[in-house]
């Protein structure tokens, strides 16, 4: 492992340059055309044939494609977030309201770096290595993994193991974190439309005020967690968006609430969705308002790491020097990689980037999110070593 990490120094400047170029030009889910083109051209430049248009904007490259050995897949996601960047970096997003605030730019760069490393060792590979560059991970519903799987990305050759890496400011820069079994929650997005009857703000008794009713809905939904869900069961319900009204003295006709539910069990997931609907409708009904509750279809399943593969990856990462490997706790965030893990055993693991001296202290999805670029070489080396070892 230390050997691969040393070799990665040869490509470190390329990895950082690719990351910065993608960061400067972020693209939202289902809009990753430029990023996909950059990925494809980079793969072709190192002698790896690239297939584009897989599941939308997905790109796939295969090393040692003619081998009949078992196939290992490595995945990176490509999309950015609808967020205005506030971080002070020289390569700040050039696109207003769009930012790589979750590190997907680094994921692409690290996987391309791993491809460069593996190309040097192609004669040592005892099977094919698929390099999967996935669109639309941030979508939360249809996503990008499902469409890519539908287009056959896990077949021909059939993938025996699949691995994914995610950058995280939760862990010290240069350390790895992982766990076997469930690691990331299933996310369910909901929308609640509170339908009242508008009027003048000075005469609320002549209207059905959806703002007041929506406030009661938000407060009451928190009772699902505190009074209906087993307190030892991992569970989150958050209302994250409220929209309604146009002026300070006009009671609107309607208010829309949007939020998310995060769970780790099918039973709790089903119960929470049912309770969200019944609580919201009951509150609205009690104040004379109408209510519509809808959930995003096809939400991501729980991300579950294979126990044997994870134990093996942990051993490999520990050999990478003195950077440290920690046990990840349950993470309430959701991940489209879960769908790949339903098709083949594997591991989703994290690379820490928290560095207080460099100001890399803000969480993923923050407008101030920054990355300690010194760790990118390490991430590329870890992916390459996993592929080499599992083959």
pLDDT digits (tens, 9 = 90+) for 50-83: 999 999 999 999 999 888 899 999 999 999 999 9
Is the same domain home to 93 and 239?
Answer: no
Angle at CA 43, nearest 5°, toward 334 and 364?
25
Is the same domain home to 169 and 206?
Answer: no
Question: What CATH number corresponds to the domain at position 279?
Answer: 3.30.70.360
Which residues are CB-neighbours of 262 under 8 A, at least 6 positions away? Answer: 185, 186, 187, 188, 234, 235, 236, 237, 332, 333, 334
Q: Which domain range does residue 262 map to?
A: 186-295
* pLDDT of residue 140 exceeding 90: no
Domain count, the chain: 2
Domain end call among 276, 295, 314: 295
What's the pLDDT at 141? 86
The catalytic residues are 300, 373
Is the same domain home to 216 and 288?
Answer: yes
Is the same domain home to 231 and 106?
Answer: no
Domain end call among 237, 267, 295: 295
* pLDDT of residue 322 exceeding 70: no
Is the same domain home to 39 and 170?
Answer: yes
* pLDDT of residue 7 exceeding 60: yes
Is the same domain home to 174 and 273?
Answer: no
Question: What CATH number corresponds to the domain at position 173?
Answer: 3.40.630.10
Is the same domain home to 150 and 166?
Answer: yes
Is the same domain home to 25 and 125?
Answer: yes
Q: What is the mean pLDDT of residues 146-161?
A: 97
Residues 202, 344: Cα–Cα separation, whole Å = 61
| pTM for the full predicted model | 0.93
Is the same domain home to 209 and 174?
Answer: no
Nearest to 113, CA basis, from 26, 9, 24, 1: 9
What's the pLDDT at 38? 98
Is the same domain home to 195 and 59?
Answer: no
Is the same domain home to 351 and 283?
Answer: no
What's the pLDDT at 325? 95
Is the same domain home to 175 and 191?
Answer: no
Please give the DSSP secondary-structure letter assigned to residue 8: G
Nearest to 379, CA basis, from 13, 15, 14, 90: 15
Lowest mean pLDDT among 91-100, 137-146, 248-257: 137-146
- For 358, the token pair is 């460099």
Q: Is residue 294 within 8 Å of residue 273, measured between CB atoms?
A: no
Q: Is residue 390 within 8 Å of residue 205, measured between CB atoms?
A: no
Domain end call among 278, 295, 312: 295
* pLDDT of residue 1 exceeding 60: no
């Amino acid at each position: 492992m230390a050997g691969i990490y040393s070799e990665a120094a040869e490509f470190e400047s390329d990895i950082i340059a690719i990351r910065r170029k993608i960061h400067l030009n972020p693209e939202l889910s289902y809009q990753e055309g430029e990023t996909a083109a950059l990925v494809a051209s980079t793969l072709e430049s190192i002698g790896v044939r690239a297939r584009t248009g897989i599941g939308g904007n997905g790109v796939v490259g295969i090393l040692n494609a003619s081998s009949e050995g078992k196939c290992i897949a490595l995945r990176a996601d490509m999309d950015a977030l609808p967020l205005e960047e506030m971080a002070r970096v020289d390569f700040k997003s050039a696109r207003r309201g769009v930012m790589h605030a979750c590190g997907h730019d680094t994921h692409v760069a690290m996987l391309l770096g791993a491809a460069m490393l593996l190309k040097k060792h192609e004669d040592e590979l005892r099977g094919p290595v698929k390099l999967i560059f996935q669109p639309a991970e941030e979508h939360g519903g249809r996503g990008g993994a499902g469409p890519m799987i539908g287009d056959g990305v896990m077949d021909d050759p059939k993938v025996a193991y699949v691995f994914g890496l995610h950058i995280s400011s939760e862990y010290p820069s240069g350390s790895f974190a992982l766990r076997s079994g469930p690691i990331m929650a299933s996310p369910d997005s909901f929308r609640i439309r509170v339908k009242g009857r508008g009027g003048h703000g000075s005469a609320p008794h002549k209207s059905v005020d959806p703002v007041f009713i929506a406030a009661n809905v938000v407060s009451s939904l928190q009772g699902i967690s505190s009074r209906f869900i087993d307190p030892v069961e991992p569970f989150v319900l958050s209302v994250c968006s409220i929209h309604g009204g146009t002026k300070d003295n006009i009671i609107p006709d309607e208010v829309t609430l949007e939020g998310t539910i995060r769970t780790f069990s099918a039973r709790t997931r089903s119960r929470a969705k049912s309770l969200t609907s019944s609580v919201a409708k009951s509150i609205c009904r009690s104040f004379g308002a109408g209510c519509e509750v809808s959930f995003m279809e096809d939400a991501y399943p729980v991300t579950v790491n294979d126990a044997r593969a994870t134990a093996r990856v942990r051993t490999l990462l520990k050999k990478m020097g003195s950077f440290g490997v920690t046990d990840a706790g349950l993470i309430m965030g959701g991940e489209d990689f879960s769908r790949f893990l339903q098709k083949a055993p594997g591991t989703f693991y994290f690379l820490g980037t928290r560095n207080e001296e460099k100001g890399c202290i803000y969480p993923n999805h923050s407008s101030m999110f920054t990355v300690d670029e010194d760790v990118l070489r390490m991430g590329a080396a870890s992916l390459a070593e996993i592929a080499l070892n599992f083959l």
